[in-house]
Amino acid sequence: GAGVSQTPSNKVTEKGKYVELRCDPISGHTALYWYRQSLGQGPEFLIYFQGTGAADDSGLPNDRFFAVRPEGSVSTLKIQRTERGDSAVYLCASSWTSGGMDTQYFGPGTRLTVL
């Protein structure tokens, strides 16, 4: 079956611009996670959804970052007034439940470059 997909695969933007990153999880997965990987680091948790609601957004670095999952499937990560420090690979993952014992299946990521 289809895995997790993310679009776009690459995004180059200018400092101060707004960007949206999209994630299509595996069909039927109720939990959806966003991570960010900066150069030389492991993925860093940002937010996770159980269904439509954000169950834990403690990893969002500041109020320029926001994510939605209005119908409990596709999710969009939104970044306002982008800064050079936002440049990273943004990963999305989904799992059957949010207990954490389930395998999280990752998408290929979106590489964001802020000039």
Partner 1 sequence: ILNVEQSPQSLHVQEGDSTNFTCSFPSSNFYALHWYRWETAKSPEALFVMTLNGDEKKKGRISATLNTKEGYSYLYIKGSQPEDSATYLCASLVRRKLIFGQGTELSVKP
Q: Does 101 bind partner 1 (CB under 8 A)?
A: yes
Which of these segments, 11-19, 20-28, 72-80, 103-111, binds partner 1 (CB under 8 A)? 103-111
> For residues 43 and 79, which CB has a smaller minimum distance to partner 1 in the complex?
43
Contact between 28 and partner 1 by CB under 8 A: the answer reads no
Query: How long is the chain?
Result: 115
Residue 75, token pair as written in the block: 């999710």
Q: Can you tell me the distance from the alpha carbon of 10 to that of 103, in angstroms, rounded to the nearest whole number?
A: 26
Q: Can the peptide bond before residue 8 be classed as cis, meaning omega within 30 degrees of 0?
A: yes
Selected range binding partner 1 among 13-21, 34-42, 62-70, 78-86, rule: CB under 8 A = 34-42
Q: Which of 13, 20, 22, 44 forms a contact with partner 1 (CB under 8 A)? A: 44
105: CB partners within 8 A, 6+ apart: 3, 4, 26, 29, 93, 94, 95
Residues at the site binding partner 1, with contacts judged by CB under 8 A: 3-4, 33, 35, 40-45, 48, 55-56, 59, 91, 98-109
